[in-house]
Each structure stands twice: as structure tokens, then as C-alpha cells.
């Protein structure tokens, strides 16, 4: 039994807690009425007027004694706050400038990047053009060769045409020859027939005479 610890504060704490809660509820419920509110407002306004009077008198006295008042100090302090605000505004403008510069730099970098890419592309295109030019030259020389060959072919063609003409002429000659030959054959035939006829005629003529 003697070993059991006794905490005398536990109950006290609980009792105090309950008492405090009840007292607060009581006080708040007492003050929870319109009359109390009106009275409080009267007290507040009286206190305010009293303070206003003290302040006004303080200002008057300080003015007579040529002493700065709290209001004067407040005005000076406001100037420093304004200066601080201006510095802040300037700092923000510097930020904006920094951001603009950063943006411009970024744009420039992008532009330079594009320029580099473009010059690379141009170089590649130039190489391609050189290559193409070389090929074109090759093609040109091939074309010239072809042209030459074509002109040779044309010459050959002309020769062939001449030959053809000659051949045509030769064919004409041949025809003529054939005609001549035919005529000759006809002539020969005619000639061969003429003695027979003449003979016949002679015979006919001779027969007449013989009688």
C-alpha cells in the first residue's frame, strides 16, 4: 500500500480545467447580449476620444517645443519604405532586362545554330553541286562524243543517202538497162522476125515474079 504513488495534481488539474471552462462559458454568456455590446462600444469610443485628445495635445506641445513627434518619425520612415519599394521595382526591372537579354541570347544562339546548320547544309549542297558539276562535265564530254559520233553518223547517213541515191540511180540505170535489154531483146526478136518476113515477102514477091 505504501508503494502506491499519489499524484495530488491530477485531480486539481481536472478540476481547474472544468472550472475554467465553466467560468469562461459563464462570462461569455453574460456578455452575450446587446446591452453589453452597446456598453462596450461606448467604452471603446470614449477610450478612443481620450487617446485622440492626448495625441492632439502631444502634437501641439511638441510643435511648441520644436520637437519631432511620432508622426514626424513615421513620415521619415515612410520615405525609407518608399525608397525600398523603388529599389525593389528597379530590381524587378533589372530582372526583366536580364530575362530579355537571356531570351535574346537564347534567340541569338538559336539563330547562330540555325546559321551553322544552314552553312553546313550549304557546304553539303556545294559539294553536291561540285559533284554534280563534275558529273555534268562528264556527261557533257560524253554528249560531245555522242554529238561527234552523231555527226559522224550523220555524215555516214549522208554518204548512205548518197549511196542510196546512187543506188537508186543505179537502179534506174539498171531499169534502163533492163529496158534496153528488153528493147534489145525485142529488137533482136524484131530483127529475127524481119528476115523471115522479108523472106516471106521475098518469097511472096519472088513467087509472083516466077510466074
Binding site for another protein (CB under 8 A): 1-10, 12-13, 16-17, 20, 23-24, 27-29, 31-34, 36-38, 40-41, 44-45, 47-48, 51-52, 55, 70, 73-75, 77-78, 81, 84-85, 88, 92, 95
Question: How far, in Å, CA of 45 to CA of 38, rounded?
Answer: 11
Closer by beta carbon to another protein, 90 or else 185: 90
Closer by beta carbon to another protein, 7 or else 192: 7
Q: For residue 149, give the C-alpha cell.
A: 559520233
Closer by beta carbon to another protein, 9 or else 64: 9
Q: How far is the CB of 59 from another protein (least distance, A)?
A: 13
Q: How far is the CB of 136 from another protein (least distance, A)?
A: 55
- From residue 180, how far is each of 4, 145, 186, 189 by CA, in Å? 170, 49, 9, 13
Closer by beta carbon to another protein, 87 or else 126: 87
Question: How far, in Å, CA of 92 to CA of 85, rounded?
Answer: 10
Closer by beta carbon to another protein, 76 or else 180: 76
- From residue 40, how far is each of 36, 47, 48, 140 by CA, in Å? 6, 10, 12, 112
Neighbours of 69 (CB within 10 A): 15
HSE at residue 161, side-chain half, CA atoms within 13 A, is 6
Cβ-based burial of 189 (10 A; exposed 0-12, middle 13-18, buried ≥19): exposed
Measuring CA to CA, which residue among 77, 58, 79, 80 is closest to residue 69? 58
Q: How far is the CB of 20 from another protein (least distance, A)?
A: 5
Q: How far is the CB of 93 from another protein (least distance, A)?
A: 13
Q: How far is the CB of 22 from another protein (least distance, A)?
A: 9
Q: How far is the CB of 105 from another protein (least distance, A)?
A: 17
Closer by beta carbon to another protein, 32 or else 211: 32
Amino acid at each position: 500500500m505504501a508503494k502506491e504513488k499519489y499524484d495530488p495534481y491530477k485531480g486539481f488539474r481536472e478540476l481547474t480545467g472544468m472550472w475554467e471552462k465553466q467560468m469562461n462559458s459563464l462570462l461569455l454568456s453574460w456578455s452575450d447580449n446587446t446591452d453589453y455590446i452597446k456598453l462596450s462600444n461606448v467604452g471603446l469610443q470614449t477610450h478612443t476620444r481620450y487617446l485622440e485628445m492626448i495625441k492632439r495635445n502631444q502634437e501641439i506641445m511638441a510643435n511648441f517645443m520644436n520637437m519631432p513627434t511620432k508622426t514626424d518619425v513615421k513620415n521619415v520612415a515612410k520615405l525609407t519604405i518608399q525608397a525600398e519599394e523603388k529599389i525593389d521595382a528597379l530590381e524587378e526591372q533589372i530582372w526583366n532586362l536580364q530575362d530579355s537579354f537571356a531570351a535574346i541570347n537564347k534567340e541569338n544562339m538559336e539563330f547562330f545554330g540555325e546559321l551553322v546548320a544552314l552553312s553546313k547544309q550549304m557546304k553539303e549542297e556545294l559539294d553536291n553541286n561540285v559533284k554534280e558539276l563534275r558529273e555534268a562535265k562528264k556527261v557533257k564530254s560524253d554528249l560531245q562524243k555522242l554529238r561527234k559520233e552523231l555527226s559522224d553518223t550523220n555524215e555516214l547517213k549522208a554518204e548512205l543517202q548518197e549511196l542510196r541515191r546512187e543506188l537508186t540511180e543505179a537502179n534506174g540505170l539498171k531499169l534502163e538497162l533492163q529496158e534496153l535489154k528488153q528493147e534489145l531483146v525485142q529488137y533482136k526478136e524484131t530483127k529475127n522476125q524481119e528476115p523471115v518476113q522479108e523472106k516471106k515477102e521475098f518469097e511472096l514477091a519472088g513467087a509472083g515474079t516466077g510466074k
